Structure 1
Amino acid sequence: MNWKEMSILTTNEAVEPISFILHEAKVGGLAIEDRADFLRDRDHPFGEIYELDPNDFPEEGVVIKAYLPETNGLMETLASIQEKIKQLADFQIDIGKAQITITDVKEEDWATAWKKYYHPVKISERFTVVPTWEEYHPAENELVIELDPGMAFGTGTHPTTVMCIQALEKTVRPGDTVIDVGTGSGVLSIAAALLGAKSVKALDLDSVAVEAARQNISLNQADDVITVEQNDLLQGITTKADVVVANILAEVIISFSGDASNVVKKNGFFITSGIIEKKADEVKKALQQAGFRVEEMIRISDWVALISRRKN
């Protein structure tokens, strides 16, 4: 089978929502090329991608590359993706040029070439994310999350995910109950389990994400701690949690902050990420109105994560 590479030139702000659109379309793989990763000065050692090649990055903006098999419904799928990307502008998301190009990729090239993007990445003081095909020997007290990026939903090294894991390190205690809203690859649930959580509930509305999370959780032998469910945010969830974590768009966080307040235990934590810096104040206001006190803001590039505590 041959494949089509769909290359989308967009903005950093649009990476997460466009990636979600592509995952909904069941793309066979995803790569993100952001020139800011190559140019920016790094003030911390985490989330690094080493030996960067300038030829792999666009002159401006961000390029998202998705891979789709050549099937009878391919043209309709491509048209649907393009239309949904255009509609993001209706939600005040800057999609930039949203320039799309399509190229052919042979099966034998696709089978291995995409792996060049993925290597072990240290994302915090304790955590390193390792692709399943890489041999890696952790240092003493280092925690390793093993992921298969080919399943779906990335490698866990996007700034929003990195910040969530750093926030989990600060808040999760052995024996805690944790809820991961919008689990995607399941990486945050796995991190919570490795930090000693007694019980983790991983939730996602997307059935593809649910399956990907289950497979990654099995890879990390965390099935006895983590349960994965298909669910719309926190609707119908009555379990009380010491920590709730959500790496979702700012608008979505705002929409269910009240539900989070009902689920988080008194003095428990609500970790939120996926927030562009210019929208941080809106999210903080919603969290405060829902009964949370924002205790810490973490920043990487233009992204923000908030650690909030339920007051009563």
Structure 2
Amino acid sequence: MLTMAQGARRAAGEGPRMQRVPKAGSTLRGLAASLAALVCVCAGTARGAEAVLDIWAAASLREPIGQLGRRFEAQSKDRKVNLVFGASSALAQQIESGAPADVFLSADDVSMDRLQANGFVKPQTRRVFASNQLVVIAARELTVPFSGPNDLLRPEVKRIALAAPEVPVGRYARQWLASRGLSEAVKARSVLLGDARAVLVSVDSGNADAGIVYATDARSAKTARIAFPVPDAEQPYIVYVGAVTVGGDQPELADEFLRLLVSPEGLAALRAAGFRPPPAASPPADAP
């Protein structure tokens, strides 16, 4: 935040020997000159200021939103993009607590629905822009055959990394496990983590034997491998949705960025990062 420079210094007095009372006219002229100088200082500060756009996005969007944020910033020397990534549920909670976000990009519609219901986002700006896919990953050290959901129950698979249930990818993973009748068995072996990236790091480092993450996150694995993708017919309804927040400092820039996100250029960046096209407007009746 820019601070305004002090416009004038106080003149030094001559001591108590003699005090001169200024004429009214000279006082008014001096006041007008001081005000004019202050206006010039303010105008110069405003002209030199950058408009900072705060974009808060799901952790899984780090690659494409980082890329689009840099493109958006480069379009004008008078704008700057500040990116904050994290679990959608945690970001939404912070926005409800007054965090200074201009754009919210969520990995689910649940977090966005809550913000909209409580008046924290502008409904008319809401955009569905992508989908994703769940995959099961395995640690390099896990050498037993591992190609289907029942392999999660092998005795060699002692620790299964999952994002917390309030986190979108954690909720999606549990929906799939429930549809396969594996919830309780996997729960006994589960290690709870903050988001999909944390799950990936846990399996990469060998602290967990397996985990369930987005396909886009698995692309950046260092040592972990994709054991198998969740079949399309079993995929939960995964949706990414964005909106302009209420009370943000840059509503016009926020709306402009959302337009970039859903433009051919934005969708191409998402596709290049492994995201799927936006799903239908609402989940099918038999969605898990």
Same fold by TM (over 0.5)?
no
**TM-score (normalizing by structure 2):** 0.28
Bigger strand fraction = 1
Bigger helix fraction = 2
The structure with the larger Rg is: 2
Tell which has more relative contact order, 1 or 2 (C-alpha 8 A, sep 6+): 2
